[in-house]
């Protein structure tokens, strides 16, 4: 129950962050209490939404503020997506289980079911990793960095978060070492 509350709170925070992102602006007058009568000649609420769409390369000044453009020609075919995502998730499951033998954390548990990988770190939080087939993405909910959506980057041969260009495995290595106090190598096959 507490996990659901934490995830809902993070989702709410993510939604608020998305609405306040530079590429969108929403202007609303304050809400009026029920029964409040307004003079017809007064101005009405103004709702305006603008979106920036990337159709070409980003200039260096925009690079840190806007997610990279999606190259739809390079999207994975569904079977290739499943092969890559399943391989990544199963490798992570194995390495995280081995990591659990090294770290001494109450409540450490790795679970995989219904194509969702869950890493519980007791009082330190919970990671949830799952495939999003329609988007050809791996989604991660992290107790450190919040929600992220990773696309397969063919040139890097890695799952990369377009907004920050973070590599999934490197990000997990860094966060787990920060939380658990022990380094972990998720990037290599050793």
Name the phi and psi angles at 115, rounded to 5: 60, 30
Segment (H or E) for 100: helix 78-102
Look at residues 90, 71, 72 and name the one whose alpha carbon lies nearest to residue 129.
90
pLDDT tens-place string over residues 45-92: 333 333 333 333 444 444 555 555 555 545 789 999 999 999 999 999
What pLDDT digit, counting tens, does each position of 1-44 carry? 555 555 556 655 555 544 444 333 333 334 444 444 444 443 33
| Reported confidence tier of residue 102, pLDDT bands at 50, 70, 90 | very high
Considering the chain, what percentage of its residues have pLDDT values greater than 70?
Answer: 59
Q: Is 149 exposed, middle or buried (0-12, 13-18, 19+ CB in 10 A)?
A: middle
**Domains and their CATH numbers in the chain:** 77-190 (3.30.920.10)
For all residues of the chain together, what is the average pLDDT? 75
Q: What angle do CA 185, 186, 190 make, to 5 degrees?
A: 70
pTM of the shown model: 0.62
3-state SS class at 38:
coil
Q: Which letter, b or e, does each residue of 1-36 get, where b requires 16 or more Cβ atoms within 10 Å of its Cβ?
A: eeeeeeeeeeeeeeeeeeeeeeeeeeeeeeeeeeee
Percent of the chain with pLDDT over 90: 57
């Amino acid at each position: 129950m507490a996990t659901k509350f934490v995830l809902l709170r993070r989702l709410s925070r993510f939604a608020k962050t998305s609405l306040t992102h530079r590429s969108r602006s929403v202007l609303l007058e304050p809400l009026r209490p029920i029964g409040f009568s307004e003079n017809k000649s007064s101005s009405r609420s103004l709702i305006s939404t603008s979106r920036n769409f990337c159709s070409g390369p980003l200039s260096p000044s925009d690079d840190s503020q806007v997610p990279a453009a999606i190259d739809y020609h390079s999207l994975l075919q569904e079977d290739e997506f499943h092969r890559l995502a399943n391989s990544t998730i199963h490798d992570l499951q194995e390495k995280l289980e081995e990591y659990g033998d090294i770290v001494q954390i109450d409540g450490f548990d790795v679970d995989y079911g219904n194509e969702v990988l869950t890493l519980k770190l007791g009082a330190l939080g919970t990671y949830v990793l799952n495939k999003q087939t329609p988007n050809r993405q791996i989604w991660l909910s992290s107790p450190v960095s919040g929600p992220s959506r990773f696309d397969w980057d063919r040139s890097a041969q890695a799952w990369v978060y377009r907004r920050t260009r973070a590599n999934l495995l490197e990000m997990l290595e860094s966060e787990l070492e920060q939380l658990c106090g022990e380094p972990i190598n998720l990037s290599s096959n050793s």
